[in-house]
């Protein structure tokens, strides 16, 4: 089987990895073959994608993979897993930065600023979509909570919780779970809403800064 192959593509922009980016591809040891990273990496690469559950098992237990033994539980007290994951040398030759061809056509335009604004707009769109989806989920949990509350009110369980039968206890349990799910969904929607607002503020500030400079 091949050794691990370090990813060479930035997860954010699809370009080469960069020390200036904060994504996991640019900052962590991630194998492009098996898809594992850091603590979920085995000694040797299995040569195919490793699903999330197995990666977690590698991270949390002594499960390992080597060319000699395949998948096995590493006996650490016997010195089985004393070294880290083995990577191929994937260092890319350093090449000088290439000029932006757009600068030849329109040299007076700050293309770096244009790209940054486009990236911010793309990020804003993603934040907006995430908020809409979270808000829909919150609405669904609101409706579910209302239904359970109506059911409990109709049965008269909310007027007194003493001497409840099994059906009453089951209904009140569902009501408590619906309340918890509703609160979690609302907090998640509020979080995405705040992230969307922050992204919008950053984009507007960038546009205003460009307008002032111009």
Domain spans, the chain = 24-95, 103-213
CATH fold of 103-213 reads Helix Hairpins (1.10.287)
Per residue in 143-194, pLDDT (tens digit) is: 999 999 888 887 776 555 556 677 778 888 889 999 999 998 999 899 999 9
Q: What is the pLDDT of residues 92-133, one digit of tens each?
A: 454 566 676 777 777 777 767 777 788 888 888 888 988 999
Question: How far are the Cα atoms of 15, 24, 40, 69, 98 from residue 91, in angstroms, in the given order?
Answer: 15, 17, 22, 28, 19
**For the whole prediction, is pTM greater than 0.85?**
no
Question: Could you give the CA distance from residue 62 to residue 86 in angstroms, rounded to a whole number?
Answer: 17
């Amino acid at each position: 089987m091949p050794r691990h192959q370090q990813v060479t593509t930035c997860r954010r922009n699809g370009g080469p990895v960069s020390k200036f980016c904060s994504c996991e591809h640019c900052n962590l040891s991630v194998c492009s073959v098996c898809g594992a990273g850091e603590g979920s990496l085995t000694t040797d690469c299995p040569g195919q994608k490793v699903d999330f559950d197995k990666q977690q098992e590698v991270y949390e237990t002594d499960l390992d993979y080597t060319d000699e033994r395949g998948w096995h539980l590493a006996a650490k007290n016997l010195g089985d897993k004393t070294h880290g994951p083995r990577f191929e040398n994937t260092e890319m030759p350093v090449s000088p930065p290439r000029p932006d061809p757009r600068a030849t056509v329109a040299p007076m335009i700050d293309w770096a600023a244009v790209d940054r604004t486009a990236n911010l707009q793309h990020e804003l769109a993603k934040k907006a979509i995430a908020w809409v989806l979270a808000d829909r989920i919150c609405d669904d949990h609101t409706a579910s909570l209302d239904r359970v509350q109506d059911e409990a009110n109709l049965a008269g369980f909310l007027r007194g919780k003493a001497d409840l039968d099994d059906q009453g206890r089951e209904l009140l349990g569902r009501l408590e779970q619906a309340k918890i799910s509703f609160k979690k969904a609302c907090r998640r929607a509020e979080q995405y809403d705040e992230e969307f607002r922050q992204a919008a503020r950053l984009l507007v500030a960038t546009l205003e800064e460009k307008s002032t400079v111009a």
